């Protein structure tokens, strides 16, 4: 629409508002009413528009800005829109060349068991290295890849590459036998019917156990098409692929929909972890997420662990796993291949180690709070009343149990007798009767004890 006889932009805005008001009532068609909305972009003729094509281009950019703000509204063009459009076009062009010229690479960030500090998995993070050696931040090119659909070929390449990398690590490094690999899946990929085929192809090509692959998806990706996403996730679950809800708590999914998804892991968003050092509300939110995950029978991983106080608080609240700069920064595969024995590229508060242990390895108990602690086995273990801490431990039971060869397995440990355990230090697991007082043995003899091990 061309308005040649206006004095300023305010008159164009008034025209846009009249158009919006006229479109509010429904259009009556035979047998039905149809509602129509409009996203309107406004660009005024100034000195910058020396050609009519430039004026139409800027009005079009303003229209897409109105759509991005929620549709059914108007937006006025400004120079920042043009700058963003030019930058986005340049990134899209360079990204297409980067895909063709193998300029993308993967860095891997460790996921550690917080109380024992062992590396139990890694998350693959895609990086774009330009020919001059500079790295493009993911926040700049990932949104462009999702908008243009380039995320599909990128995601397909990432799936195959991480499976090949994990297979190489398991072949060359015995310490990596129980390692799992986490991969981010976008909303576009989740809606793509070829996702199942891509996962099957990557696993078949490398011969990996499907349980060693973890696909991470966000709440918004599921909410966009819940029924389709749920069907896709069920197929992945039938394949024994693990599923994780990334950035949990920042989306709009309901608890009822969450309980219908076949999830294995909830990942606490780093914005909640950052608040652990600031106020009590941050602790309450993290505790609520941990309690919810415990009730649903899924594991919990915290993101963005950057301080020692955050780490200690997460352990106290019962969080299983974590990742962040304190526990290890993302590193290229060349540095991870040097992870052997005492050699590691990762910084931590104690000597790190790869997952894997023998029958003599023991680790301290992990605290949990809540009405019930659901273990990874087929039974549940009740926690003592009155809010008293119940203790559940990890125990290594040989090279073929738990999360894989040499991996840890969660099994119930003996707990104090009936009633409240008011004070006392947690016992370290060990040979029967070793280091335990006779009074402790007597109390446990009177209590029914834990269920038999499967």
Lowest mean pLDDT among 142-146, 307-311, 404-408: 404-408
Q: Where in the chain is the domain with CATH 3.30.70.270?
A: 9-77
Number of residues that make up the chain: 454
Tokens of 170: 């398991």
Give the pLDDT band of residue 406 (cuts 50, 70, 90). very low
What pLDDT was estimated at residue 48?
A: 58
340 has pLDDT over 50: no
Q: Where in the chain is the domain with CATH 3.20.20.450?
A: 102-336
Residue spans of beta strands (DSSP E) within 159-303: 180-184, 213-218, 242-248, 265-268, 299-302
Give the pLDDT band of residue 182 (cuts 50, 70, 90). very high
Percent of the chain with pLDDT over 70: 72
Q: Which superfamily is assigned to 9-77 in CATH?
A: Reverse transcriptase/Diguanylate cyclase domain (3.30.70.270)
420 has pLDDT over 70: no
User: 355-394 pLDDT, tens per residue?
Assistant: 333 222 233 333 333 333 333 322 233 333 323 233 333 3
301 has pLDDT over 70: yes
Mean pLDDT of 170-180: 85
Q: In whole angstroms, what is the distance from residue 171 CA to residue 127 CA?
A: 25
Of the candidates 194, 178, 36, 35, the residue with the CA atom closest to the CA atom of residue 119 = 178
Mean pLDDT across the chain, nearest whole number?
75
What pLDDT was estimated at residue 206?
A: 92
What pLDDT was estimated at residue 9?
A: 81
Q: Where are the alpha helices (DSSP H) in 35-137?
A: 52-68, 79-100
Give the dihedral sign, CA 28/30/35/41. Answer: negative
Residue spans of beta strands (DSSP E) within 363-416: 366-368, 372-374, 380-382, 390-395, 409-411
401 has pLDDT over 50: no
Mean pLDDT of 186-198: 89
Lowest mean pLDDT among 212-216, 249-253, 435-439: 435-439
User: 236-265 pLDDT, tens per residue?
Assistant: 999 999 999 888 877 666 677 778 889 999
| Contact by Cβ (8 Å): 228, 188 | no
Q: In whole angstroms, what is the distance from residue 203 CA to residue 163 CA?
A: 7
**102-336 CATH choice from 3.20.20.450, 2.30.29.30, 3.65.10.10, 3.40.190.10:** 3.20.20.450
Better pLDDT: 116 or 315: 315
433 has pLDDT over 60: no
Better pLDDT: 112 or 398: 112
| Contact by Cβ (8 Å): 2, 26 | no
């Amino acid at each position: 629409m061309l308005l040649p006889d206006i004095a300023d932009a305010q008159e164009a805005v008034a025209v846009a508002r009249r158009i919006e008001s006229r479109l509010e009532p429904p259009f009556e068609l035979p047998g039905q009413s149809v509602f129509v909305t409009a996203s309107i972009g406004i660009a005024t003729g100034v000195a910058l528009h020396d050609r009519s094509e430039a004026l139409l281009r800027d009005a079009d950019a303003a229209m897409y800005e109105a759509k991005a703000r929620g549709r059914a509204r108007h937006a006025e063009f400004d120079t920042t829109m043009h700058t963003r459009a030019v930058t986005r076009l340049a990134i899209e062009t360079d990204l297409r060349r980067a895909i063709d010229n193998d300029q993308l690479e993967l860095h891997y960030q460790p996921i550690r068991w917080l109380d024992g500090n062992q590396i139990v998995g890694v998350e693959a993070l895609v990086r774009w290295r330009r020919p001059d050696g500079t790295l493009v931040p993911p926040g700049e090119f990932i949104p462009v890849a999702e908008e243009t659909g380039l995320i599909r070929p990128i995601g397909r390449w990432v799936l195959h590459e991480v499976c090949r990398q994990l297979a190489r690590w398991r072949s060359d490094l015995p310490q990596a036998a129980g390692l799992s690999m986490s991969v981010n899946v976008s909303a576009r990929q989740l809606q793509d019917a070829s996702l199942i085929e891509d996962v099957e192809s990557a696993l078949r090509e490398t011969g990996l156990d499907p349980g060693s692959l973890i696909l991470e998806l966000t709440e918004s990706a599921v909410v966009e098409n819940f029924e389709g996403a749920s069907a896709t996730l069920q197929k992945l679950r039938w394949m024994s692929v693990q599923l994780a809800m990334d950035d949990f708590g920042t989306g709009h999914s309901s608890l009822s929909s969450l309980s219908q998804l076949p999830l294995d892991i909830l990942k606490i968003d780093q914005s909640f972890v950052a608040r652990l050092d600031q106020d009590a509300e941050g602790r309450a939110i993290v505790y609520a997420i941990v309690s919810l995950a415990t009730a649903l029978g899924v594991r919990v991983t915290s993101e963005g662990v950057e301080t020692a106080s955050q780490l200690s608080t997460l352990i106290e609240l019962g969080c299983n796993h974590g990742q962040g700069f304190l526990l290890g920064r993302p590193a290229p595969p060349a540095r991870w291949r040097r992870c052997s024995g005492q050699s590691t590229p990762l910084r931590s508060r104690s000597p790190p180690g790869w997952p894997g242990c023998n029958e003599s390895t023991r680790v301290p108990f992990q605290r949990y709070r809540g009405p019930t602690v659901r273990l990874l086995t087929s039974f549940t273990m009740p926690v003592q009343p009155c809010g008293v801490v119940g203790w559940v431990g990890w125990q290594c039971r040989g090279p073929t149990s738990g999360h894989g060869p040499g991996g840890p397995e969660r099994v119930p440990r003996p707990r104090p007798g009936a009633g409240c355990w008011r004070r006392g230090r947690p016992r370290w697991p060990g040979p029967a009767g070793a280091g335990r007082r006779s009074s402790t043995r007597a109390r446990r003899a009177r209590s029914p004890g834990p269920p038999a091990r499967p």
